[in-house]
Amino acid sequence: MMNLTRRALIGGVAASSLAPLLRPLPAGAAAPVTGKQAPGFYRYKVGSFECTSLNDGALTYPISADYVTNVSKDQVIAAAAAAYFPKDMVVCPYNPQVINTGSKLVLIDTGWGPGVDPAVGHVLHNMAAAGLEPGAVDTVIISHFHRDHINGLRKADGALAFPNAEIKVPSPEWAFWMSDDNMSKASGDMMQGNFANARKIFAGLADRVTKYEWGQEVVPGITAVETSGHTPGHTSFAVQSGPARVLIQSDVTNIPALFVRHPDWHVMYDVEPDLAARTRYRFFDMASAERAQVVGFHFPFPCLGQIEKDGAGYRLVPAAWSPVL
Amino acid sequence: MMNLTRRALIGGVAASSLAPLLRPLPAGAAAPVTGKQAPGFYRYKVGSFECTSLNDGALTYPISADYVTNVSKDQVIAAAAAAYFPKDMVVCPYNPQVINTGSKLVLIDTGWGPGVDPAVGHVLHNMAAAGLEPGAVDTVIISHFHRDHINGLRKADGALAFPNAEIKVPSPEWAFWMSDDNMSKASGDMMQGNFANARKIFAGLADRVTKYEWGQEVVPGITAVETSGHTPGHTSFAVQSGPARVLIQSDVTNIPALFVRHPDWHVMYDVEPDLAARTRYRFFDMASAERAQVVGFHFPFPCLGQIEKDGAGYRLVPAAWSPVL
């Protein structure tokens, strides 16, 4: 491409300055490989708010027969292949968000925390790369109580990862997971494990946790949006500063290549799968109608994009990476 | 999302370690905004080669009547709107590539260099962020002689930006732009400016520049692929290490949202527009048939993806950002 300005068309370095400073050609030893990826953070503005997408890592795992409960494994494998995933595998990224409203430094969801897998648990590392201090976080807002969203509240020794933060949780999510009656009725390792995990993570935090309601401004500029189904209290967020608005969808959908394209597919993690599917259609209809920028916890980093209708489903159009804020 | 391993399902931090270390809640002053984007580099492997996509920045400019020469401005504006560009504008990114083959550190194209616009000319800054020394570059391979590809060979004072590098240029590209006959026949500010610019940039570099032919391995593992039309000597590259292969398309297409989708559209920078369009179909047919990973100089950073057929045109499926190498 060529710039369109006359300055660029006609300009260029002055001929007189072009005497080359020749030095000996290299001796032949190439630079050693670094073996390191770039840090996993990305900045974007919402009005006057400075937001930072933080990558917690990604897990790659084989597609099991029960990964999507209402279609065949072959259909899922075909959709994964169409999305250029490794053969018979899915890759699931995890992306908490930081919103600096100017008066509050807010973290939405926390990532896996330590000890699960070397491929995840990188939020604190990427926060440091982004110049953000965990101790400066005023508020942690939790979308729902699955462990990739809450376990990063704790460090390996159990201490609070964000020691000065108030923790705000969806009122119906707290009610669901803290109900002994619900726990006693939970069937299967996954659900039983999730009840136990939520109670462990929130143990002793009663004076640090506050509950918010759907429709409420959790922090000025960040409104809780009801998107239940994935879990009974699953919550998305509308971030608004002046006329600018971004929708943080949390887990309305898991991996977009599968579940934005096929919103009626039931990923095994959806606690109320029929409701979750209805919520996907409702949320994506809203997002596509207003051409909203949408942030997805499981979208490929930096996890911003637009949702469009595409046949019977939708598609994610990833936002172009911007070199400037 | 929830991990599938039993360890993650059942595990979690030990209850005994969860006594919270409560500290006072914050005094209320939020962290100052940083105003800074993440550094513009991204690593990917091609077999044993470690590659680094380097962002030189992006220019945003209004869609002029002659930007696409064979369709109406309204059609272009509609396509830009469909791609969520700012109203009546296009955003064009610039992305040189570093290939560390293990024996050679190679830079393919250089970006705009200094002095054009604060929004571009960031290759050296992003190389530094990626831990790459300009003096360690053994070879600079040039795809074609448009200034966003060659002007970064020089620093503001005219000195060589990669002082130890051999510079390899396409033989037919050199022949075209260095022909006095061609220059005398050039019409319009843009073409005349490009002839003058190429001669200024390469002035005095005869002993540093070597010419390569299409079909040749320019550096072991990097083969020049004829993709003429955008310019008469325009070249793409096949990077191969073992069975792994990536196609660096250079400027076979400009902005994918417009010209991958509409390969028959003639962007004003195409010197031989009919040939450039035929080259696009030929190259994209090849890339889609082999499901190749394609790197595009003007794709959104980090500028890797797959090209698929889509109706009468094609679409770019951006590669998912990988947190690991």
Kindly determine whether residue A14 and residue B158, on different chains, have CB atoms separated by under 8 Å. yes
Per-residue confidence (pLDDT) for residue B30, from 0 to 100: 64
> Taking CA atoms, what residue in B is nearest to A45?
B35
Q: What percent of chain A has pLDDT over 90?
A: 89
* Residue A15 scores a pLDDT above 50: no
To test the contact with chain B by mutation, choose from A5, A6, A10, A13 the residue with the greatest count of B C-beta atoms within 10 A, namely: A13
Rounded CA separation A241/A222 (Å): 9
Chain A environment of B252 (Cβ under 8 Å): none
> Taking CA atoms, what residue in B is nearest to A128?
B38
Give the torsion sign (CA, A100, A106, A108, A111).
Answer: positive
Kindly determine whether residue A138 and residue B28, on different chains, have CB atoms separated by under 8 Å. yes
Kindly determine whether residue A39 and residue B36, on different chains, have CB atoms separated by under 8 Å. no
Question: Which among B22, B31, B323 has CB closest to A55?
Answer: B323
**Dihedral-angle region of residue A237 (phi above 0 means left; psi in -120 to 50 means alpha; beta otherwise):** beta
For residue A252, CA distances in Å to A109, A295, A319, B3, B193 come to: 14, 11, 19, 17, 52
Coil, strand or helix at A183: helix
ipTM score for this prediction: 0.90
> Over the stretch A46-71, which tens digit does the pLDDT of each residue have?
999 999 999 999 999 999 999 999 99
Kindly determine whether residue B300 and residue A323, on different chains, have CB atoms separated by under 8 Å. no
Please provide the distance, in angstroms rounded to a whole number, between the alpha carbons at the two ends of chain B. 23
> Taking CA atoms, what residue in B is nearest to A194?
B9
Rg (CA), chain A: 22
Mean pLDDT of chain A: 92
Asked if residue A94 lies in contact with residue A53, where contact means CB atoms within 8 angstroms, the answer is no
* Residue A25 scores a pLDDT above 90: no
Please provide the distance, in angstroms rounded to a whole number, between the alpha carbons at the two ends of chain A. 23
Q: DSSP code of A160?
A: B
Question: How many CB pairs below 8 A link A and B?
Answer: 315
| DSSP code string of B265-287 | --BTT-SSHHHHHHHHHHHHHHH
> Taking CA atoms, what residue in B is nearest to A103?
B30
Question: Which among A3, A156, A193 has CB closest to B116?
Answer: A3
Q: Which helix (H) or strand (E) holds A237?
A: strand A235-241
Average pLDDT over residues A198-216: 96
**β-bridge partners, A305:** A294, A318
Question: Which among A100, A297, A323 has CB closest to B31?
Answer: A100
> Over the stretch A244-267, which tens digit does the pLDDT of each residue have?
999 999 999 999 999 999 999 999
Kindly determine whether residue B7 and residue A116, on different chains, have CB atoms separated by under 8 Å. yes
Average pLDDT over residues A197-220: 97
**Helix, strand, coil percentages, rounded to 5, for chain A:** 25, 25, 45
Chain A environment of B41 (Cβ under 8 Å): 38
> Over the stretch A102-113, which tens digit does the pLDDT of each residue have?
999 999 999 999
Kindly determine whether residue A204 and residue B19, on different chains, have CB atoms separated by under 8 Å. yes
Per-residue confidence (pLDDT) for residue A33, from 0 to 100: 87
Kindly determine whether residue B164 and residue A57, on different chains, have CB atoms separated by under 8 Å. no
Asked if residue A257 lies in contact with residue A79, where contact means CB atoms within 8 angstroms, the answer is yes
Kindly determine whether residue B105 and residue A31, on different chains, have CB atoms separated by under 8 Å. yes
Q: Which helix (H) or strand (E) holds A51?
A: strand A49-54
Provide the greatest CA pair distance for chain A.
83
Rounded CA separation B318/B325 (Å): 17
Chain B environment of A160 (Cβ under 8 Å): 20-22
Indicate the pairing of strand A89-94 with strand A57-62.
antiparallel
Residue B113 C-alpha from the chain's centroid: 14
Per-residue confidence (pLDDT) for residue B33, from 0 to 100: 87
Q: DSSP code of A112?
A: -
Indicate the pairing of strand A217-219 with strand A209-212.
unpaired
Residues of chain B with pLDDT under 70: 1-30
Residue B63 dihedral angles phi and psi, to the nearest 5° = -75, 115
Asked if residue A198 lies in contact with residue A148, where contact means CB atoms within 8 angstroms, the answer is no
Asked if residue A79 lies in contact with residue A51, where contact means CB atoms within 8 angstroms, the answer is no
Catalogue the E-assigned strands of chain B: 41-46, 49-54, 57-62, 89-94, 97-100, 105-108, 139-141, 166-170, 209-212, 217-219, 222-226, 235-241, 244-250, 293-296, 304-310, 313-318
For residue A141, CA distances in Å to A98, A110, A295, B41, B47 come to: 10, 9, 15, 31, 41
Coil, strand or helix at A104: coil
* Residue A97 scores a pLDDT above 50: yes
Chain B environment of A23 (Cβ under 8 Å): 163-164
Chain B environment of A34 (Cβ under 8 Å): 43, 50, 130-131
Q: Where do the domains of chain B lie, and which CATH numbers do they carry?
A: 39-318 (3.60.15.10)
